[in-house]
Amino acid sequence: MLTINANNILENVIDLNNANGLPTNINTNQFTDNSYQTSNPSGLCIGR
């Protein structure tokens, strides 16, 4: 399992990509309290 927590990731084409867009329930990665504009799949961030 991978944990991504409390990061600011900005100004990239895709700021955060979970295993080529797979839903987090497929690989149990955790994303909490991160701030960025674009994620794949959407919904991994709290926005900016």
Task: Give yes or no for residue 8 having a pLDDT over 70.
Answer: yes
Three-state DSSP string of the chain? CCEEECCEECCCCCCEECCCCCCHHHHCCEEECCEECCEECCCCCCCC
Q: Where are the domains of the chain?
A: 3-40
Q: What percent of the chain has pLDDT over 90?
A: 0
Q: Is 37 left (phi over 0), alpha (psi -120 to 50) or beta?
A: alpha
Return the higher-pLDDT residue of 11 and 41.
41
Contacts 24+ apart (CB under 8 A), 16-23: 16/40, 16/44, 16/45, 18/44
Task: Give yes or no for residue 48 having a pLDDT over 70.
Answer: no
- Does the pTM surpass 0.85? The reply is no
35: confidence class by pLDDT, cuts 50, 70, 90: confident
